[in-house]
Amino acid sequence: MSRVVIQGDASGTGDFTIAAPNSNTDRTLTLPDEAGTVLSTATAGVPVNGPAFSASPSTQAYTTNTWTKVMLTSEEFDTNSCFDNTTNYRFTPTVAGYYQLNAYIDTSGATYVQIAIYKNGALYKTTQQASSAYGTTCSTIISMNGSTDYVELYGFMTTSSNITTLSNFNGAMVRSAV
């Protein structure tokens, strides 16, 4: 049987208190078999059920040489109901923090493609490339305030004619703002 040893730092002068919550339920604290710092959901910077989403349109038409807002009408998931897939087609997270965002647009039939992620109506990140049979991607980490900040996806293509293509936009909280 393993034993629990509590050892103080000889140079420290502070008290370390283990306090039990006011509860009538027995609890078990299971520690990982690892050395190092143990993080919990109460640790600053560790997301607690942070918002995450993945959305796409079934297909969307792009007019050549025109920036087009991607109308993401279908959600694969939206954990905190922060993605608007009916009106504005934008992600407005309700938890302040840093978010990893990923965008993909199929570029079949295009000779030039740009993807843009907009924050609060202004360009935040863009990628561009010449024709690719595999699609174009754009990824970034962005700080969001958890109340009014939002992000949207736009695409721009140069083609011989207007085309219809598939796309995807997803994101997840990677760290709280604290």
Which residue range is the domain that position 168 belongs to? 52-176
Distance between CA atoms of residues 168 and 49, nearest Å: 22
Does 77 fall in a domain? yes
Q: What is the mean pLDDT of the chain?
A: 84
Neighbour-count burial for 31-48, b at 16+ CB within 10 Å, e otherwise: eeeeeeeeeeeeeeeebe
Does 108 fall in a domain? yes
Does 161 fall in a domain? yes
What total of structural domains would you count in the chain? 1
Does 93 fall in a domain? yes
Closest by CA to 166, choosing from 136, 146, 126, is 136
Does 117 fall in a domain? yes
Long-range CB pairs of 40-43 (<8 Å, 24+ gap) are none
Does 69 fall in a domain? yes
Distance between CA atoms of residues 6 and 23, nearest Å: 24
DSSP 65: T
CB 122 within 8 A of CB 25: no
pLDDT digits (tens, 9 = 90+) for 28-69: 777 667 666 665 655 555 555 689 999 998 677 788 888 999
Q: Which residue has the tokens 């305030």?
A: 145
Q: Most distant CA pair in the chain: distance in Å?
A: 75
Say how many residues make up the chain: 178
Does 32 fall in a domain? no
**Cα four-point dihedral sign 121, 144, 57, 129:** positive
pLDDT digits (tens, 9 = 90+) for 137-147: 899 999 999 99
pTM: 0.73
Domain holding 117: CATH number? Answer: 2.60.120.40
Does 40 fall in a domain? no
Higher pLDDT, 167 or 160: 167
